[in-house]
Amino acid sequence: MMNIDVNNITLNYTKLGKGNPIILLHGNGEDLHIFDPLVDRLKLHFTVYAVDSRNHGDSTKTKDWTYEAMAEDIFQLIEKLQLKKVSIVGFSDGAIIALLLAIKHRNLFYKMVLLGVNLKPTDFKKNIYKSLVDEYEKTQDPLVKMMLEQPNIELEELKNIETPTLVVSAEHELFYRKGFKDMVKIMPNAKLKIMKNHDHGSYIINEAILYPDLMEFIE
């Protein structure tokens, strides 16, 4: 485990392997260890940085619960570690962070992989959104509130992202399929992969199922 001070907080991360850098960003309420099986494979080809986002894992707990702040954290990490030709794999919240970075910093990434990403809370299927509302009423969990209110990315903001991008959706996803298709249609260098017989997290959480696809796409 390693620590780095960025954006007035401390991020916890691991660094394993050798080769061009690749950053792995987990989803809401998780930590970097969801990627352990994947890291074991990727570290044979890349220098892998798996990061605990703010308010997650062993990173600093703050009162700022915004994807914009989380994105700035990762940008400063990249700058501070002087990472070049860096690729990024983001799952769910991690994919939102990656997308915000790609919008703001057009040439930041060599390759980008977005797993189960949404642009707005309205991308959730209606029954899923209702279950989140019910959960928040019971728990008042700020992480759930984030998902109910954020992100708020306009589809048009994606049209200038030239980074080669792999967008991945599960067959049984939390979000409507149309959102993924619209993203790939407007991004000039994006393609869509549907994970058959999987749900939002089953192909990535504590799994290395995506390893062959990631290797083919990034290399």
CA 174 – CA 147 distance, rounded (Å)? 12
3-class DSSP state for residue 123? helix
This model's pTM is above 0.75: yes
Which residue from 41, 25, 45, 43 is spatially nearest to 33, judged by alpha carbons? 25
For 86-143, what is each residue's pLDDT tens digit? Answer: 999 999 999 999 999 999 998 999 999 999 999 999 999 999 999 999 999 999 999 9
- R_g of the chain computed on alpha carbons: 16
Share of the chain above pLDDT 90, in %: 99
Q: How far is CA 34 from CA 29, 84, 100, 117, 186, in A?
A: 11, 25, 22, 17, 30
CA 124 – CA 130 distance, rounded (Å)? 9
Q: Please, what is the average pLDDT of the chain?
A: 98
CA 201 – CA 152 distance, rounded (Å)? 22
Provide the CA 129 distance to its chain's centre, in angstroms: 20
Confidence grade of residue 43 (pLDDT, cut at 50, 70, 90): very high
For 58-94, what is each residue's pLDDT tens digit? Answer: 999 999 999 999 999 999 999 999 999 999 999 999 9
CA 175 – CA 52 distance, rounded (Å)? 24
Mean pLDDT, range 172-192, rounded to an integer: 98
Q: How far is CA 210 from CA 38, 43, 113, 190, in A?
A: 8, 14, 11, 17
Mean pLDDT, range 159-177, rounded to an integer: 97
* Beta carbons of 197 and 169 less than 8 angstroms apart: no
Mean pLDDT, range 27-38, rounded to an integer: 98
30 pLDDT higher than 90: yes
CB atoms within 10 A of CB 3: 13
CA 184 – CA 191 distance, rounded (Å)? 6
What are the start-end ranges of the H helices in the chain? 36-42, 67-80, 93-104, 126-139, 142-149, 177-186, 211-218
Mean pLDDT, range 43-67, rounded to an integer: 98
Tokens of 78: 């990249």
Which residue from 96, 89, 142, 101 is spatially nearest to 118, judged by alpha carbons? 96
219 pLDDT higher than 90: no
